Amino acid sequence: MFFPELSPMLLGASVPCSSELAASGIITNYGVYPLAVLFALHLTAVLTAMGAFPVAVACEFLAGAKKKIFFKKFAQQLSKLGFFATLYLLLASAASLAYMYVKKPAFAQPWIDAPLVLAPMLGALVAYVLCAGAYSMSWKSSRKAPTPHKALGILTVLLLVVMCAISLSTKLVAMILPALPPESINPLVVIIRGAGSMLFLPLLIPFLLDALACASAAGLVWLILRRNRDDWGRDYYAFAARTGAGWAIATTLLALCAEGWSVWATMPMLSGSPMQQYMPIVAGAGAGASVLACLFWAFILRSQTPMRHKFSMISGLVLLVLGFCAFGVASAFLVLQNIAPLA
């Protein structure tokens, strides 16, 4: 759902291995590469849903501070992209829960035994979707009442952070739920216990920064799709493309710093594990793809006609998602290695 790298191990300590996946027919029927593409598309949508609104809210404040209406128009377009991605997130969350309940009842059993554990996570998700929808649909009224609209944007961002924190902490503890008696499971205790995990911050902080970077990069592709529909002039789209590229570069570099800190802080957890030798390779591949994406965006940032660099916009997003997929694999290494110590 919100942390795709945890999706194979959300509902119990028994993690399906490749042979089990092959036996289930998933790999045989669909193949590895189509599933990898679907995962990358899913990751793009999830990160965009998480990151679009913080960037949009920041641009709305910049519009007032710098007295430049183009910032507000860019925020409006980005919030619409974020809302569509959020609707996908809502549907994907519901579909994943329904699938595991119907097709994988053994995995869903911990949630069935302790349904209240899901309540904070789903409640935060619903609250976030409602606020995000209200924010993205109320731009016309913001002309007469900008302050309430900005306040709604801040509330949306706060709910986003709370939702991600609750989701991650719940999922970390979910891996050991089968070892706990259902009557002893309290939602607040679960959240606090997960937030106290050594994996909590190394997973949460990079994820939030990854979301900002992915939303900024996806925003550039969104400009291509909306160019004819939202005909706001050549000057606006040149400004929006440079703004999106600047955001993408800055947030990607911050995300790389966070990912580097995460790898450095968590490498001791992999000591003695066969995964230890692969961590630098996987993380290095993710960093390389992300840096290459920044080079594509640099062409857009320095160009006098940035909207002509459609190849750079699309290639930058693809490379960034590939990089984040690599970092997701690194995060999965950490979670797999530390399932036992969490118990």
Residue scoring higher pLDDT (33 or 143): 143
Token pair for residue 310? Answer: 């459609």
| Cα separation of the two ends of the chain | 23
Q: How confident is the model over 291-310, as pLDDT tens digits? A: 999 999 999 999 989 999 99
pLDDT value at 65 more than 70:
yes
Q: What is the predicted pLDDT for the residue at 179? A: 54
Q: How far apart are CA 72 and CA 283, in angstroms?
A: 36
The pTM is what? 0.84
Q: How confident is the model over 127-173, as pLDDT tens digits? A: 999 999 999 999 988 888 889 999 999 999 999 999 999 988 888 87
Q: What is the predicted pLDDT for the residue at 183? A: 55
Characterize 21-40 residue by residue with b for buried, 16 or more Cβ atoms within 10 angstroms of its Cβ, and e for exposed.
eeeeeeeeeeeeeeeeeebb
Residue scoring higher pLDDT (102 or 46): 46
Beta carbons within 8 Å of 163's beta carbon, 6+ residues apart: 2, 121, 124, 125, 127, 128
Q: How confident is the model over 175-219, as pLDDT tens digits? A: 654 455 555 567 787 788 888 888 888 889 999 999 999 999 999
| Among the ranges given (37-51, 128-142, 181-195, 253-267), the one the predictor scored with the smallest mean pLDDT | 181-195
Longest dimension (CA), the chain: 64
pLDDT value at 25 more than 80:
no
Ramachandran sector of residue 264 (left: φ over 0; alpha: ψ -120 to 50; beta: rest)? alpha
- Alpha helices, DSSP H only, in the chain? 18-24, 26-30, 32-66, 69-103, 105-113, 118-137, 146-174, 187-195, 200-226, 234-266, 279-302, 310-337, 339-342
- For residues 265-272, give the mean pLDDT: 71
Residue 276, burial from CB neighbour count under 10 angstroms (0-12, 13-18, 19+): middle
For residue 164, the Cα-to-chain-centroid distance in whole angstroms is 9
Q: How far apart are CA 171 and CA 192, in angstroms?
A: 12
Residue 326's pLDDT band (cuts 50, 70, 90): confident
Token pair for residue 225? Answer: 């799709």
Q: What is the predicted pLDDT for the residue at 23? A: 40
- For residues 257-280, give the mean pLDDT: 76
